Amino acid sequence: MRVELRIRRFDPERDQASHWETYQVEASPMDRVLNLLHAVKEEQDPTLTFRRSCGHGICGSDAMRINGRNRLACKVRVDQLGHRISVEPLLGLPVVKDLVVDMEGFFAAYRSVMPFFVADSPVPVRERLQSPAERARFDDTTKCILCAACTTSCPSFWARRSYVGPAAIVNAHRFIFDSRDEAGPERLQVLADTDGVWRCRTIFNCVDACPRQIQITRAILEVSRAIVEDIA
């Protein structure tokens, strides 16, 4: 089948503003959008710039806006999209070139919630034990691959770029509800800020965008409840 692929292009050395370019690409229904981008780059325009690595939905590097919704280019198939496909960079982050956005602000928000295990109490003789039920408490939020699809689909983030965003809260949740971790109150303090969880308006765009089907809004509400219970 022939696909009409529209790509929003921007070259900072040449363009004042981004613009659409259209390519005709031969594809099979089972091809991924990433295959189409490679076909354009290899056969039509080698300057086309995009990020990708694993090609299998693991690394999170190829999140982009596909037919108006944030998706991983390596996961979404042509037969799910039809003959006309549009591809744009993620919204709300500065565009570096074509489909590549500057992720520094996104990772700064991620770092602000201390996304790592903290336990300063003496190390037990054996390992720090955790029951299956305690492990299950935060299982969903361990699945995040930091693709930024959730944060950059969030109207609250578009309106206020200093909002830490869903991805940072998901990664805070992963440690706040880990029974072995000891820095929960510090993370809750960060997320009780004006740019923390209260910016969420439960719009659910993040849930729709997440390629790992994480129940993000529920995680945000659980963190909000923990703030009320721990700090109020």
- Of 49-57, 92-100, 114-122, 155-163, the window that binds ligand FES (rule: CB under 6 A) is 49-57
Identify whether the C-beta of residue 24 lies closer than 8 Å to the C-beta of residue 4: yes
Q: Which is nearer to ligand FES, 98 or 222 (CB)?
A: 98
Nearest approach in angstroms of CB 167 to ligand FES is 14
The dihedral formed by the CA atoms of 118, 206, 203 and 195, expressed in degrees to the nearest 10:
40
Q: Which is nearer to ligand FES, 188 or 209 (CB)?
A: 209
- Max distance between CA atoms of the chain, in angstroms, equals 64
Among 44, 53, 162, 202, binds ligand FES (CB under 6 A): 53
Of 60-68, 157-165, 174-182, 190-198, which segment contacts ligand FES by CB under 6 A? 60-68
Per rule CB under 6 A, is residue 52 in the interface with ligand FES? yes
Pick from 7, 33, 48, 72 the residue near ligand FES by CB under 6 A.
Answer: 72
Does position 74 interact with ligand FES (CB under 6 A)? The reply is yes
Q: Phi and psi at residue 32, in whole multiples of 5°?
A: -95, 160
SS3 20: strand
Among 15, 44, 58, 162, binds ligand FES (CB under 6 A): 58
Q: Which of 45, 55, 142, 208 binds ligand FES (CB under 6 A)?
A: 55
Binding segment toward ligand FES, per CB under 6 A, in 46-54, 95-103, 154-162, 172-180: 46-54
- CA pair distance 61, 52, nearest whole angstrom: 5
Nearer to ligand FES, 59 or 96 (CB): 59
Q: Can you state the percent helix, strand and coil of the chain, rounding each to 5? A: 35, 15, 50
Give the Cβ contact number of residue 208 at 10 Å: 14
H-only helix segments in the chain: 33-43, 104-112, 132-136, 155-159, 165-176, 184-191, 205-209, 216-231
Verify binding: residue 143, ligand FES, rule CB under 6 A. Answer: no
| Residue from 57, 86, 105, 112 in contact with ligand FES (CB under 6 A) | 57
Residues contacting residue 205 through CB under 8 Å, at least 6 positions apart: 150, 153, 154, 155
Contact residue for ligand FES among 5, 23, 33, 61 (CB under 6 A): 61
Spatial separation of the C-alpha atoms in residues 157 and 167, rounded to whole Å? 11
Contact residues for ligand FES, defined by CB under 6 A: 52-55, 57-62, 72, 74
